[in-house]
Chain A
């Protein structure tokens, strides 16, 4: 199985400041169709994960443009341009280049 490693595991950010989360995979997430199957989700307490970024760098419908994904191969980053209170929760990266899909451990973002 592909191992996904997120850092940091927790983050405390003041509103208006940027935030960045790293995700590394144990093998390349580039598929033969030239797409990179890396996803970012945000899960708030008691809720299902919600998709933020798909295929490494595309924002999902309705996601604010302060969220941005980048990276290729095995190294990826989620950046939040200016954190807002509503961004608090646990962020997960996930790969779907092969099954079983696997997740990073999650990064808990606290908005101070």
Chain B
């Protein structure tokens, strides 16, 4: 069974840093891309970034709104992905989801984690 679980969310002050983890099981993590999304309270879904499989080049891309502040990484031996968030702003308040990209579909997301709430407030 494919499973993804985010952790590390919480209440954090503006300008501070926070790291989210996405722990996975049930699939070949090292061969899979992962995409992060977020959803501000009461709003729609927004793409945050993409980290490809090292097997296929390891591409990393970010949304313009987080580029330079957020960093994606992965630990293939532990089947875990990370979203390091720095210089947080109040507008980064959202539930953050990680998702698996399926092969053969340009790594488009199929399974998602349940999400981690990040609240940026003083």
B57 nearest CB across to chain A (Å):
14
Q: Using Cβ atoms and an 8 Å threshold, which residues of chain B touch A35?
A: 105-106
Q: Using Cβ atoms and an 8 Å threshold, which residues of chain B touch A51?
A: 109-111
B: contact size bracket: 20 to 34
- Residues of A in contact (CB 8 Å), total 26
Q: Using Cβ atoms and an 8 Å threshold, which residues of chain B touch A99?
A: 47, 50, 61
**Chain B residue with the shortest CB-CB distance to A106:** B44
**Chain A residue with the shortest CB-CB distance to B59:** A99
Do A96 and B44 have beta carbons less than 8 Å apart? no
Q: Which residues of A16-65 have CB atoms within 8 Å of chain B's CB atoms?
A: 31, 33, 35, 37, 39, 43, 47-51, 54-55, 60
Contact of B44 among A33, A39, A50, A92 (CB under 8 A): A92
Q: Using Cβ atoms and an 8 Å threshold, which residues of chain B touch A88?
A: none
Given contacts A31-B106, A49-B112, A104-B44, 20 further A-B contacts (CB under 8 A): A33-B106, A37-B106, A37-B108, A39-B109, A47-B114, A48-B114, A51-B110, A54-B102, A55-B105, A60-B110, A92-B45, A96-B108, A97-B106, A99-B50, A99-B61, A100-B64, A101-B109, A102-B47, A103-B46, A106-B44
